[in-house]
Amino acid sequence: MLALLFLAPSLIGFAVFYIIPFAMGVYESFTDRTLGGSFVGFDNYKELLASSSFRKAAANTLLFTGLSVPLLIAASLSLALLLNRPLFFRNGLRTAFILPLVVPVASIVMIWQIFADWNGTLNLWLHHWGKERVDWLQSDWSMGVLVIMYLWKNIGYNMILFLAGLQSIPQDYYETARIEGAGRLRQLVHITLVYLTPTMFFVILISIINSFKVFRETYLLAGDYPYDRIYMLQHYMNNMFFSLDIQKLTAAATLMVGCIVLFVTGLLRAERRFRDNME
């Protein structure tokens, strides 16, 4: 009871601003209008799945997650392995990779707009080398620009998490492996990656959730209705909000949360099974 008393302010705030509104949104997704609506079952979801705009937004979001998360995990883990070794100016490199975390999103988007604009830096380089300019944000390359921006923004955070996991592995394991003749590759596979697996599950989970929240960057970079390749789920929900189509908005939000819950549940089950096998 004492613990609940101390937790009560946070629990009340979380319930008022998150749990109750979300529950109301789920209920609204099964009605035909916002106030005093009638229950219509899954009609809103059927209409939503029949919408080409929603299917396009969902496909783009899943494509972005499928591309960005593996690249982010591989790049941040490689940097963590590199910076876990005694290197010249290692602390300075760590700081350099952490700096994007403290830069406001608007500033990040401005940098990438200058870089990828029609008259931007990248096209200036192409023109210098005799190549034709590319409208990067109005072509299929726009997804690549968004993925690179996501990596640049989040790689430092994941790297710190991996570094913490690497430094928690006892050095005795590596010394024993070296004495027994194990090379670096064998040490990486059978010691580093095995004992880093709990951290890996957590980083993958955080990266997937963050990939669904890339709307701010895309919205500031390309506006309400960007090129088709970077039209995301949150673009769709944002436009439904402006048109006050609450039923489609809440249905789309519920489906997105359901997908995230499925990802999270699968990862947690896999992590629990791995931990049980380790024990």
Residue 202: exposed, middle, or buried by beta-carbon count in 10 A (0-12, 13-18, 19+)? middle
**Residue 13, in any domain of the structure:** no
Residue-wise pLDDT for 202-228, tens only, equals: 899 889 888 888 877 888 877 777 778
Mean pLDDT of 64-77: 92
What residues make up the domain containing 163? 39-278
Q: Could you tell me the pTM of the whole model? A: 0.82
97/21: higher pLDDT: 21
**Residue 140, in any domain of the structure:** yes
**Residue 8, in any domain of the structure:** no
- CATH code for the domain in which residue 236 is found: 1.10.3720.10
Mean pLDDT of 151-178: 87
**Residue 102, in any domain of the structure:** yes
**Residue 21, in any domain of the structure:** no
Mean pLDDT of 136-149: 85
**Residue 4, in any domain of the structure:** no
**Residue 27, in any domain of the structure:** no
Q: How many domains does the chain have?
A: 1
**Residue 131, in any domain of the structure:** yes
Residue-wise pLDDT for 107-120, tens only, equals: 888 888 888 877 88
Residue-wise pLDDT for 234-269, tens only, equals: 888 888 888 888 888 899 989 888 888 888 888 888
